Amino acid sequence: MRKAFIGLVALIILGVIGFVALTSPSAYRLIRAEASAPDGNRTPNMENGRILFFAGGCTSCHAVPNSDDKLRLGGGYALKSPFGTFHVPNISAHKQDGIGSWTTADFVRAMREGVSPDGRHYYPAFPYTSYQRMSAEDLSDLFAFMQTLPPVEGRVRDHELPFPFNIRRGVGLWKLAFLDGQVFAPDATKSASLNRGAYLVNGPGHCAECHSERNFAGAIIEERRFAGGPDPEGRGTVPNITPHQSGIGGWSPEELATLLKTGETPLFDTVGGPMGAVVANTAQLPEADRAAMAEYLLSLPPKQGFKKPE
Ligand code: HEC
Ligand code: HEC
């Protein structure tokens, strides 16, 4: 009896030590190769930063809700999820309330590793699972551009997450399982435009974050990437964007590029809701970037779309 008790206590202690060790942000760094640091002496390319800002759709979540000025990144949007409601933070250039006093390295770490400057894990409701694909140069340009946007005062309220999702530390385990730490690597056998499209769609564009089914832990199911799924915020379903007949199979690259510019579909419909917000951003990109995204999506293997369970 006594032995069994000591054994149990030992197991619990080991369990706690294991949890603490595996969920520490430094464990994530040790297990996944540390992302290359940005070169501090580089002069940032502001135009590139602007393009990545719109490709990344940061305004969709971080702009002050119901404000016409989407460049005020004061946060406050209540982002619903199956795990609770996230109150999207202020990422404006404000020194105290936003990220105005961050270094470029702090920013790169947040976007690639999902870790805050004070060493806390971010929840993957912040889609760093996609942003981790971005290069250090692109992230430093993006950060430099964001620092030119207006500082907005005020911090937002805490997230409303039920137990156990309110334990930030637990996100460390999630990251070990679902955050691979890989920066986008171009495929030398493919054209430059196809690689550019793949980068924009999978990295900053984070298109799969809405257009895929997710598993019990809220991670994208790889085989279902881009095939559509339930809306992550619970407002119906998101369509299949692979070139299957249940998706965008009949579309030409020009039609797809047009949708990303004007929101119009080949069937004389206009996309709305969350996709309307995406288009407001992709409309700001150079023509060649929209064409590259269209070329890439139409080159994907066709997949049967998501069917809502009856
Ligand atoms: C789908 C919504 C969504 C999008 C799109 C999004 N974010 Fe966020 N972001 C969040 C949420 C939610 C958090 C809070 C995460 C947490 O508290 O763990 C966050 C946190 C952050 C933080 C940390 C802020 C802090 O105070 O520590 C930074 C930096 C950030 N986002 C930058 C960006 C940038 C840059 C973009 C665009 C390239 C972007 N985000 C796009 C939802 C989003
Ligand atoms: C915030 C969630 C979200 C993100 C991110 C997102 N989409 Fe969408 N998308 C939607 C929703 C919802 C619809 C359906 C809109 C409608 O029918 O009004 C849609 C519709 C579409 C359609 C039209 C499909 C059809 O059959 O009519 C295309 C194409 C598309 N998205 C491509 C993209 C691309 C490319 C990206 C990345 C740049 C992207 N989406 C990012 C939510 C999203």
pLDDT tens digits, 253-303: 999 999 999 999 999 999 999 999 999 999 999 999 999 999 999 999 999
Q: Is 58 in the pocket of ligand 2 (CB under 6 A)?
A: no
Q: pLDDT tens digit string along 147-188?
A: 999 999 999 999 999 999 999 999 999 999 999 999 999 999
Q: Is 91 in the pocket of ligand 1 (CB under 6 A)?
A: yes
pLDDT band at 204 (very low <50, low <70, confident <90, very high): very high
Residue 13 has a pLDDT of 83
pLDDT of 196 above 60: yes
User: Which residue has the least CA distance to atom 9 on ligand 1?
Assistant: 126
Q: Is 57 in the pocket of ligand 1 (CB under 6 A)?
A: yes
Residue 35 has a pLDDT of 57
In the chain, pLDDT over 90 holds for what percent of residues?
Answer: 83
Q: Is 146 in the pocket of ligand 2 (CB under 6 A)?
A: no
Looking at the CA of 118, which ligand is closest? Answer: 1
Residue 36 has a pLDDT of 61
Q: pLDDT tens digit string along 226-238?
A: 999 999 888 889 9
Q: Which atom of ligand 2 is nearest to the CA of 232?
A: 2
Q: Is 211 in the pocket of ligand 2 (CB under 6 A)?
A: yes
Asked if 276 contacts 269 with a C-beta cutoff of 8 angstroms, the reply is no
User: Which residue has the least CA distance to atom 34 on ligand 1?
Assistant: 58
Minimal CA–CA distance to 222: which of 129, 113, 296? Answer: 129
Tell me the C-alpha distance between 289 and 304, whole Å.
Answer: 27
Tell me the C-alpha distance between 240 and 50, whole Å.
Answer: 29
Q: pLDDT tens digit string along 16-38?
A: 888 888 888 777 776 775 556 67
